[in-house]
Structure 1
Amino acid sequence: MRLDALTGLSDGQRIELLRRVAAHLGSSVITRSGGRPSALCLEGSVDLVCILLRTNLTQEQAASIFEVSQATASRRWDLLREVLADALDTLVPTVREVVGKGGSVLVDGFLAPTWDWKHVDGMYSDKHGEAGFNIQVAASIGGDVAAVGDPIPGARHDAHAFAASGLAAKLTDHDTLGDKGYQGHTTIHPIRKPPRAELSDHDQRFNASVSSIRAAVERANSHLQNWKILVTRFRPPLEKFPATLRAVVGLYYLKWAFE
């Protein structure tokens, strides 16, 4: 079985992840009641959770890969999702460690689709035409993820989510560059066309240069979106999404640190 393709991790990265998860769990092990051997060992359980994050298969589909029940897959998902996030937390760098002291950062947001659960207001994004979380991302000029904000209901626009997600507070020591949606909230942004007038040639060239630089943050977004649970509709209850996002961010930096 090609676990590297299913988990998105090399053998070395999977070994490092397992080591960190085992250390985080301490002496606890996955066992059945009465101390009987588990249907799925810790290594297999970690792989299963990574596959769910990477591919967004249903739990039943993921369970079939390991020849266990859907109930076992569900228990491993609930047990290890936040453990993965916590075990990888020390790998998450500061913005300064990614872009350098005083380095400039690019900011952008994307929608992580979800079901439109009725008990949570404001999830539907008119801009994207579906419900989800607004995920705010900061990137280096080279396209590396520098920081990720907390998830914000998708109805809120980028300028609001930039601050509400906590991302703006992480970037106070850095010049920031965003698109027109961040006007007044980032250091640099495109110039809006004035009412009943056209942009000058100088302003058009400036906007073109901003757009070309901003391509790097779209690459950073795509690195996170390789984990399909962020782009192909999150099916679990919404309260499980923050830990899921933290786990994906941790796995991104695991790959970054152990290429």
Structure 2
Amino acid sequence: MRLDALTGLTHGQRAELRRRIVEHLGTALIARPGGRPSALCLEGSIDLVCVLLRTNLTQDQAAALFEVSQATASRRWDLLRDTIALALAALVPTVREIVGRGGSVLVDGFLAPTWDWKHARGMYSDKHQESGFNIQVAASIAGDLAAVGDPIPGARHDAYAYAASGLAARLAGHDTLGDKGYQGHATIHPIRKPPKAELTAHDQRFNASVSSIRAAVERTNSHLQNWKILTTRFRPPLEKFPATLRAIVGLYYLKWAFE
């Protein structure tokens, strides 16, 4: 099995992840105190959960890859999703560690699509024409991930989600640059076309300059979205999404720290 491709992690990165999980919870996480051995060892269980995060296979498909039952895959998913986030929390830097004291930060958002659960209100985004979570992202001018906000229902626009996700508070003291959706919230943003008038040549050049700088945070988004569970439909119950996002942020910084 090509685990490097399926998990998005090298052999060394997977070994570091296992070491941190064992250090965090110990080997008794999977091992049974008696009776027959577990269907899947700790190493295999971590790999299975990383495959689910990276590829968004169904649990049936992932179970078939690892030659276990769907029930085992489901238990490992619930057991290790938050554990991965906690074990990697020490690798997640502060905004200041990424951009420096008072450094400028780029902000942007994307929709992580989810199953259209009928009981969940406010998840449908008219802009994207599908249900999902609004994910707010901050990056340095160089395109390094600086912070990710808490997931917000997709019906809310970026300006609302920017504050509600906690990202605005984390970026206090930094100049911010965003698109037109952050007007009045980001320090710098494109100039809107005035009613019944056109932008001046100066304003057009300014907007083009802002767009070129913002390309860095869009690249950061694409790196996060390499974990396909953020770009293809999230099938589990919605309450499991925040821990999923935290695990992905931890894995992002694991790859960054152990390239």
1:173 positional shift: 1.4
- Taking only the aligned residue pairs, the percentage that are identical comes to 83
CA distance in 1, matches of 2:218, 2:27: 42
CA distance in 2, matches of 1:27, 1:141: 41
**Aligned position for 2:236:** 236
SS at match of 2:172: coil
What is the root-mean-square deviation in Å for CA atoms of aligned residues?
1.0
**Aligned position for 1:29:** 29
SS at match of 1:132: strand
**Aligned position for 1:193:** 193
Letter in 2 for 1:24: H
* Aligned 1:29-108 pairs, distance under 5 A: 29-32=29-32, 34-108=34-108
**Aligned position for 1:148:** 148
- TM-score scaled to structure 1, two decimals? 0.98
CA distance in 2, matches of 1:25, 1:73: 19
1:28 positional shift: 2.2
- Structure 1 unaligned blocks of 5 or more: none
**Aligned position for 1:113:** 113
SS at match of 1:147: strand
Count of aligned residue pairs for this structure pair = 259
CA distance in 1, matches of 2:29, 2:81: 15
- TM-score scaled to structure 2, two decimals? 0.98
Cα shift readout 1:61-110 (whole Å, capped 9, x = no counterpart): 11111111111000000000000010001100001111111111100000
Letter in 2 for 1:85: A
Runs of 4+ in 1 over 4 A off after TM superposition: none
CA distance in 2, matches of 1:125, 1:171: 25
CA distance in 2, matches of 1:29, 1:237: 24
CA distance in 2, matches of 1:93, 1:56: 26
* Aligned 1:116-127 pairs, distance under 5 A: 116-127=116-127
SS at match of 2:212: helix
CA distance in 1, matches of 2:35, 2:135: 42
